[in-house]
A and B are shown apart, each in its own frame.
Chain A
Amino acid sequence: MKGFEFFEPTTLAEASRLFAEEHAQLLAGGTDLVIGMKALAETPQSVISLQNIPGLAGITSDADNGISIGAMTKVREVELSVDIQQHHTALAEGASEIGSIQIRNLATIGGNIAHASPAADTVAGLLVADAQVDIASADGERTVSIDELFTGPGQTVLVPGEIITRFRLPNPASGSHYIKHKIREVMDLAFIGVAAAVNLDNATITDARIGLAAVAPTPIRATEAENLLKGNEPTAELLEQVGEAAAAASSPISDLRCSAEHRKEMVDVLTRRTVQQALGRASG
């Protein structure tokens, strides 16, 4: 690992100013950055730790605004939060899919998202929760919807000096689910990640959200598939159309781990399965 200057600011404004400099990197949990620095894929001149800035970690919940997750909240805490398990099951399930317990005790949800891997395990759950991402810089604050955050693999709309501070989840689902297509039970990357969240009124689907990870340059919502569900009662035929629409929305690549054709086919299968699970939870 190359040497670097290390900073531990205690305010967001100070962190933002340091981060706006050239060749600066933010350190959250370190599970991506430290490994990247060891491999010399990352050679920052300054590393800015966020852990001493008050208020960035923790999960809060209130009746008006729903659940809010600080960016420095450990992934393990997201996984074990009873509120998140209950109202945003897909997100808790996604968090539980990351690495090992040892890694989840270090990794933060903000880091998982800011790293902007299309295969991030918390991203599909945040997409179907309609997460609002609070961003701060020395110049002020702004909020971006999670589906507008990513611009490409490893790329986001964040400009130098901007720091993700919080994820707000205003819309709890009555049922949601996340499926990670993988080989190993743990410590694997997603070939495909699919999350679905639904709200039901008796048997009618009043709202539906589907999030896809690892099947496009950025994580995406399958909006056409969602629209097919809204206002309808679920049938086998409808679910087939939904699966096909989700597959059509994907644009996967072929890589070492599997082919684009396989990924596309599996988006269809897994979307049907995920929606069905979410529906089961919503009606159960």
Chain B
Amino acid sequence: MAKHPVTLTVNGDEHDLLIEPRKTLLAVLRDTIGLTGTKEGCSTGDCGACTVIVDGNAVTSCMVLGVTASGKEITTIEGLASDGELHPVQQAFINTGGYQCGFCTPGFIMASKALLDEDPNRSEEEFRHALGGNICRCTGYTKILEAILQAAAEIRETT
């Protein structure tokens, strides 16, 4: 099958690639570009480990064909920190111990980042509901939620 030329902007860097249409965005990010921070969990959209931000929206990259992401702005976990400074959500995950094995963490952080960009004023219940698409196989949800609430409070204070 013919490969297709695509241009992906990932964390601000443009990548001109030739990819097979059946490659998911997740596979392109990990295997072609070499950004392995984004994880493959269930590969059916149920666990959220592969969450990245495309044009401002959190999406499960395992359900996206890479060819359809051409021309779009993609942010992965590798693109969150700027000049060595962690994003408030990243720092909050460290402060609270919001990770155990760490496999779900990039997905949780990217989903949280999009939620906080949209509206940091959600209630605890609203954050819980909005993160329903992310699963932690260590079941460490209490600390994850603490991290998000801490980051939300910090963002509210600084904006």
Interface on A for B, CB 8 Å cutoff? 1-6, 8, 27, 30-31, 34-35, 37-38, 47, 49, 51, 76, 99-103, 105-106, 184-187
Contacts and interface: CB of A to CB of B under 8 A. Distances in A.
> DSSP class of B's interface residues: helix, strand, loop or mixed?
mixed
Nearest to A7: B21
Contact of A4 (B1, B63, B129): B1
A30 B133 contact: no
Contacts, number: 88
Interface residues of B, number: 32
Chain B CB count within 10 A is highest, among A1, A47, A100, for A100
Nearest to A31: B63
Contacts of A35: 44-45, 63
Interface string B1-23: 11010000000000000001110
Nearest to A5: B1
A231 B150 CA distance: 54
Contacts of B129: 185-186
B133 A106 contact: no
A272 B20 CA distance: 52
B20 A185 contact: no
Given A31-B45, A102-B111, A186-B129, A6 B21 contact: yes
Given A3-B1, A38-B44, A187-B46, A105 B63 contact: no
Contacts of A8: 67
Contacts of A49: 65, 67-68
Contacts of B105: none
Given A4-B1, A27-B68, A187-B46, A103 B133 contact: yes
Given A31-B63, A49-B68, A185-B132, A103 B22 contact: no
Given A49-B67, A100-B60, 17 more contacts: A1-B22, A3-B1, A8-B67, A30-B65, A31-B45, A35-B44, A38-B43, A47-B21, A101-B133, A102-B48, A103-B60, A103-B133, A106-B63, A185-B129, A185-B132, A187-B132, A187-B133
Which 6 pairs of residues, A with B, have the shortest CB-CB distance? A100-B133, A186-B132, A6-B21, A3-B1, A105-B57, A1-B22
B120 to A, nearest CB: 15
B67 A101 contact: no
Contacts of A34: 24, 62-65
B111 A37 contact: no
Chain B CB count within 10 A is highest, among A47, A76, A184, for A47
A134 B21 CA distance: 29
Contacts of B2: 5-6
24 contacts: A2-B22, A3-B1, A3-B21, A6-B4, A6-B65, A8-B67, A30-B63, A30-B64, A31-B63, A34-B62, A35-B45, A38-B44, A47-B21, A100-B60, A100-B132, A101-B58, A101-B111, A102-B48, A102-B58, A102-B111, A106-B64, A185-B129, A186-B132, A187-B46
